Amino acid sequence: AAALTLVPTPIGNLEDITLRAIRVLGEVDTILCEDTRTSGRLLQHLDIKKPQLAYHLHNEHQQVPRLLERLAKGERMALVSDAGTPGISDPGFLLVRECLARGLAVECLPGPTAFVPALLKSGFGAERFSFEGFLPVKKGRQTRLLELARETRTLIFYESPHRIVKTLGQLAEVFGPERPASVSRELTKLFEETLTAPLGELAAALGARPAIKGEIVLVVKGAEHERTERSKYVSRADEADEPADT
């Protein structure tokens, strides 16, 4: 059995937890929690009583050496975050890296994460996509957006409800207001909704609401391939001069 197991937990609907996740949570010695109160409620719901330890962005550097010592002695631990898959825009990376560096086995269970349903509900291409997580809040934001403007893969962002309208406006400016996008709010919850429209329209529609609440995933269709775009404007004769794809 692995020393450390990453265990995905529901992103809203409590039914979204696997049988295996429940079994592992019941078997490990200790459960590392991003927030012991939030995870405590889930564990209570699952009727699992296990020692919990706080492991979050603000204490992970302190915690890792102690945890490694305990794991090396044979203790088994599960890591959970507040919602979804640990390590996806959530703490986890540091502990995983250090475990692997010491030859401690790490396992990650498949399970809920917010970006997959948002990507599929957008109806944009899911063959190739780029998960961008949270955009930089201030410094580096514009640079990142400019870098992504020509990206042809579908783009996925996590965004907070109080910034979404501003972000849609910025994206409309950099990517163009006609670029199709999709906002998924409160996935798997009672008031789940997905709005799909060009960036400009989405910014206007959400901007007209008195307030936006809940958790949000923003999906943006990739830029058209340059070749397709060019072929709209370039005559057949010009295209014939281009070397064939190999």
* DSSP structure class, residue 97: H
Give dist(CA 208, CA 214) in Å, integer: 17
CA distances from 69 to 65, 75, 212 (A): 6, 9, 45
Fill in the per-residue mask, 110 to 149: x = in contact with ligand SAM (CB under 6 A), - = not in contact: ---xxx----------------------------------
CA atoms lying within 13 Å on the CB side of residue 8: 20
Place of tokens 């295209």: 239
- Interface residue with ligand SAM among 36, 188, 194, 196 (CB under 6 A) is 188
Is residue 89 a contact point for ligand SAM (CB under 6 A)?
yes
For ligand SAM, give the closer residue by CB, 70 or 189. 189
Q: Residue 13 and residue 83: Cα distance in Å, rounded?
A: 10
Binding mask 56-85 for ligand SAM (x = CB under 6 A): -------------------------x-xxx
Binding range to ligand SAM, per CB under 6 A, among 163-171, 185-193, 201-209, 221-229: 185-193
Q: How far apart are the first and last CA of the chain?
A: 47
How near is the Cβ of 162 to ligand SAM at its closest, in Å? 11
Contacts with ligand SAM by CB under 6 A lie at 11-12, 81, 83-85, 88-90, 113-115, 158-160, 184, 186-189, 215-217
